[in-house]
Amino acid sequence: MNAFLSYGAQFGRQLISVAVIALSLFLLVRAAPGDITDYYAARGDYDATALAALRTDLGLDQSSIIQFQRWLTHAAQGDFGESMRYGSPVSSMLAEALPHTLRLAALSLAFGLALGIGLAILALACPRLRLHTLIEGLNIWSIAVPSFCLGVLGILIFSIWLKWLPIRGQMLLPVIILGLDVAGQIGKPLYEELKEMTRAGFVRTARAKGLSTWRITWRHILPNCLSHVIALSGVILGGLVGGALTMEALFAHPGLGGLTLEAIRSRDYPVIQIAVMVLAAFVVLVNLTAAALQRWADPRLTRRTA
Distance CA 205, CA 200 (A): 9
233 burial via Cβ count (<10 Å: 0-12, 13-18, 19+)? buried
From candidates 153, 209, 265, 292, binder to other proteins by CB under 8 A: 209
Q: Is 300 in the site for other proteins (CB under 8 A)?
A: yes
Question: Which of 207, 261, 291, 293 lies at the binding interface for other proteins (CB under 8 A)?
Answer: 207
CB 220 within 8 A of CB 203: yes
- Which residues on adjacent β-strands are paired with residue 89? 82
Residue 1 in contact with other proteins, rule: CB under 8 A: no
Q: Which of 11, 86, 202, 218 touches other proteins (CB under 8 A)?
A: 202
Window 142 to 201, contacts with other proteins (CB under 8 A) = 200-201
Beta bridge partners of 82: 89
Angle in degrees, CA 139, 288, 264, rounded to 5? 70
User: Which x/- pattern, by CB under 8 A, does the window 214-233 give for other proteins?
Assistant: -x---xx--xx---------
Binding other proteins (rule: CB under 8 A), the pick from 23, 133, 212, 292 is 212
Binding of residue 299 to other proteins (CB under 8 A)? yes
Length of the chain: 306
Closest CA to 176 of 119, 230, 233, 107: 107
By CB under 8 A, residue 128 contacts other proteins: no
Size of the site for other proteins (CB under 8 A): 25
Q: Which stretch binds other proteins (CB under 8 A): 8-16, 64-72, 106-114, 210-218?
A: 210-218
Smallest separation, CB 26 to other proteins (Å): 36
In degrees, to the nearest 5, what angle opens at C-alpha 222 toward C-alphas 220 and 223?
70
The reply on whether position 265 binds other proteins by CB under 8 A is no
Q: Which stretches of the chain bind other proteins, using CB under 8 A?
A: 200-202, 204-213, 215, 219-220, 223-224, 297-300, 303, 305-306
